[in-house]
């Protein structure tokens, strides 16, 4: 029986997704809930499980294609599942005792029999290896490669990302011999390079099709007969989504940016003392966490900075909670996941949440829902050595605070010149929602807490 799988809504009405890679091919036999593809939408990579058991008959998209929600993504012949190779009677009896899988909602396939991810079928020597419905892979990153069956032996194939596998191929490195240091046993680029240097691996010669990047290149003639190369990169994925959001924000919300340079020596001393406390060392509290706490306290005093402009309803919506967006630079572009109900968290809890969001974002595992519903954002440009900037407001929010680099420099302190820790704060806000006075008072409140962290005890 022929069955089509249409791209489901991957989160809060997102209209489309980009196909990152297929994990199956035409002719493959797949099991229920087996991961068949990875797609990217709203700055997150999402795995798609198969809603059917059967044979893949058609792949309706290619890597890099942007697919509209509701479009047919892949077709199956579910009748092929009945023609699967026979198994021993004991295995049939054991399988019959298992509870049947139930389908999930919105096209996500059937509910798994366990919390672990189903095994993905591995292609061995040009054929598809037989896989058991009960074989599963423990929770792992989206780019992990599961177990492959070879003859009577089961071998765990090394876990790595597509770019790392490409690098290993170019260097002539067998990933099965590389020791993984990444999270959940994932082989990183550094692991491959370290192994190649240690064993003296020689780069392999590959065809142009194997090594070509997905870009268009052409040459421009020059008067001295020399040539220079120009590279064209398709605008897609995170870069496209970020560009659309920034243009929409810049040309919808009238931006105003105000700056304030503040002596944060007391905050630096507080952070040093907290990091020296053995009970708190694992939490790695930093300036970002203190600033986040200061923002939450200041927003309670200036709710206009924690609101949004609802043009369709003709209303200003004031939030009584803080979903604090944390801008994170990743290899795939800028993402802004948010900490839900940040106003309820302690300084230690905020520090842990910020670190967790950053690690998840850099691994490409941030869920679309985690980047929606933010009410105010913070971006730390200081980590790049920048003193100040004019941040663009995240769409749907009223403001964003940029933290500059903390610098040791001469500063007036108690009537004298002394070396102090100084940083510049930059607040951009939507002038439809926030007047200059409100924005300035909010920024001063944040600065006062960073100047004297003890002042936080006076606020509620």
Domain residue ranges of the chain, discontinuous segments joined by + = 2-138, 158-216, 237-458
The reported pLDDT for the residue numbered 227 is 56
**247/346: higher pLDDT:** 346
Picking from 52-56, 219-223, 243-247, 359-363, which range would have the lowest pLDDT averaged per residue?
219-223
Give dist(CA 344, CA 298) in Å, integer.
14
Task: Specify the higher pLDDT residue, 84 or 357.
Answer: 357
**What CA–CA distance (Å, rounded) separates 10 from 132?**
28
What is the structure's pLDDT at 449? 96
84-101 average pLDDT score: 41
What pLDDT is stored for residue 203 in this prediction? 57
On the question of pLDDT at 210 being above 50, the answer is no
Cα(35)–Cα(37) distance, rounded to whole angstroms? 6
Q: In this structure, are strands 127-128 and 123-124 parallel, antiparallel, or unpaired?
A: antiparallel
Output the six-digit token pair for 2. 């022929």
CB-based contacts of 364: which residues, under 8 Å, 6+ apart? 44, 45, 142, 143, 330, 332
2-138 CATH fold: OB fold (Dihydrolipoamide Acetyltransferase, E2P) (2.40.50)
User: Quick one: average pLDDT of 147-158?
Assistant: 44
Residue 157 and residue 149: Cα distance in Å, rounded? 10
**Core vs surface per residue 328-347: b (16+ CB within 10 A) or e:** bbbebebbbbbbeebbebeb
Mean pLDDT across the stretch 228-236? 74
Element (H, E) at 447: helix 436-451
Give the pLDDT of residue 100.
Answer: 41
107-119: average pLDDT = 41
Choose from 94-103, 167-176, 340-349 the range with maximum mean pLDDT. Answer: 340-349
Specify the pLDDT at position 228.
62
pLDDT at residue 113, rounded to an integer: 41
For the chain, the average pLDDT equals 77
**What is the model's pLDDT at position 371?**
86
What tens digit of pLDDT does each residue of 180-191 get?
Answer: 876 557 788 888
Q: Do domains 2-138 and 237-458 have the same CATH topology?
A: no
> Average pLDDT, stretch 265-281?
93
Q: Which residues of 56-74 are buried (b: 16+ CB within 10 A; e: fewer)?
A: beebbbeeeebbebeeebb
Predicted local confidence at residue 54, as pLDDT = 92
Q: What is the mean pLDDT of residues 2-15?
A: 80
How large is the average pLDDT for residues 32-38?
Answer: 90
d(CA 18, CA 46) in angstroms, rounded, equals: 10
DSSP string, 146-195: -EEEETTEEEEPPEE-HHHHHHHHHHT--GGGSPP-SGGGEEPHHHHHHH
Q: Say yes or no to pLDDT of 98 above 60.
A: no
**Angle at CA of residue 279, ends 275 and 285, nearest 5°:** 35
By 3-state DSSP, what share of the chain in percent is helix, strand and coil, each rounded to 5?
30, 30, 40
When pLDDT is averaged across residues 98-124 and rounded to a whole number, the result is 41
Q: What is the CATH number of domain 158-216?
A: 4.10.320.10
The Cα 351–Cα 310 span in angstroms is 32
Residue of higher predicted confidence among 404 and 201: 404
pLDDT at 434 over 80: yes
**Residue 431 is among the residues annotated as catalytic for this protein:** yes
User: Of 283, 302, 319, 431, which is the active-site residue?
Assistant: 431
CA distance 345 to 52: 43
Lowest average pLDDT, out of 102-111, 236-245, 354-363, goes to 102-111
DSSP for 329-346? EETTEEE--EETTGGG--
Average pLDDT over residues 156-162: 64
Quote the tokens at residue 171: 């260097």
Summarised one tens digit per residue, pLDDT across range 251-263 is 788 899 999 999 9
CATH class of 237-458: alpha beta
- The answer on pLDDT for 353 being more than 50 is yes
Q: How much is the average pLDDT of 63-74?
A: 88
pLDDT at 116 over 80: no
Q: In the predicted model, is pLDDT for residue 66 greater than 70?
A: yes
Average pLDDT of the segment spanning 79-93 = 44
pLDDT at position 333 = 75
**Which is higher by pLDDT, 269 or 132?**
269
Residue 58: pLDDT over 50: yes
Most confident of 114-128, 137-151, 247-261: 247-261
- What's the pLDDT score for residue 163? 73
Tens digit of each residue's pLDDT (9 = 90 or more) over 417-430: 999 999 999 999 99
Residue 135 pLDDT exceeds 70: no
Q: Is the pLDDT of residue 34 over 60?
A: yes
Q: Is the pLDDT of residue 96 over 70?
A: no
Stretch 218-241: mean pLDDT, rounded? 63
Q: Is the pLDDT of residue 391 over 90?
A: yes
Q: What confidence score (pLDDT) does residue 12 get?
A: 56
């Amino acid at each position: 029986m022929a069955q089509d799988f249409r791209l489901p809504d991957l989160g809060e009405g997102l209209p489309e997704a980009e196909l990152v890679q297929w994990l199956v091919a035409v002719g493959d036999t797949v099991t229920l809930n087996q991961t068949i593809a990875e797609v990217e939408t709203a700055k997150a990579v999402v795995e798609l499980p198969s809603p059917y058991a059967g044979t893949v008959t058609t792949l309706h998209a290619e890597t890099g294609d942007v697919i509209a929600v509701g479009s047919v993504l892949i077709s199956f012949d579910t009748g092929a599942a009945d023609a699967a190779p026979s198994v021993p009677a004991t295995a049939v009896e054991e399988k019959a005792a298992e509870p049947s899988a139930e389908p999930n909602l919105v096209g996500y396939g059937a509910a798994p029999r366990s919390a672990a991810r189903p095994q993905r079928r591995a292609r061995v020597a040009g054929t598809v290896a037989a896989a058991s419905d009960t074989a599963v892979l423990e929770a792992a990153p989206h780019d992990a490669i599961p177990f492959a069956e070879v003859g009577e032996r089961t071998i765990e194939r090394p876990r790595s990302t597509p770019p790392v596998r490409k690098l290993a191929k170019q260097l002539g490195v067998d990933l099965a011999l590389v020791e993984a240091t990444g999270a959940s046993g994932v082989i990183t680029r550094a692991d491959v390079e370290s192994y190649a240097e240690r064993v003296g691996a020689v780069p392999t010669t590959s065809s142009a099709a194997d090594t070509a990047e997905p870009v268009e290149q052409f040459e421009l003639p020059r008067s001295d007969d020399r040539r220079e190369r120009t590279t064209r990169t398709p605008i897609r994925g995170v870069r496209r989504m970020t560009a659309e959001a920034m243009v929409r924000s810049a040309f919808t919300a009238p931006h105003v940016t105000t700056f304030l340079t503040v002596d944060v020596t007391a905050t630096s001393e507080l952070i040093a003392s907290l990091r020296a406390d053995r009970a708190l060392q694992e939490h790695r509290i930093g300036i970002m966490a203190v600033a986040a706490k200061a923002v939450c306290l200041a927003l309670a005093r200036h709710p206009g900075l924690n609101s949004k402009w609802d043009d369709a309803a003709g209303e200003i919506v004031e939030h009584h909670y803080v979903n604090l967006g944390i801008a994170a630079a990743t290899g795939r572009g800028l993402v802004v996941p948010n900490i839900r109900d940040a106003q309820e968290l302690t300084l230690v809890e905020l520090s842990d949440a910020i670190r967790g969001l950053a690690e998840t974002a850099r691994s490409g595992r941030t869920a679309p829902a985690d980047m929606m519903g933010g009410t105010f954002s913070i971006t730390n440009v200081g980590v790049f050595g920048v003193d100040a900037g004019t941040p663009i407001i995240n769409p749907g929010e009223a403001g964003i605070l940029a933290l500059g680099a903390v610098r040791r420099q001469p500063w007036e302190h108690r009537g004298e010149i002394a070396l102090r820790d100084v940083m510049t704060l930059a607040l951009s806000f939507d002038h439809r929602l926030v007047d200059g006075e409100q924005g300035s008072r909010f920024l001063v409140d944040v600065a006062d807490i960073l100047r004297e962290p003890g002042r936080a005890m006076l606020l509620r």
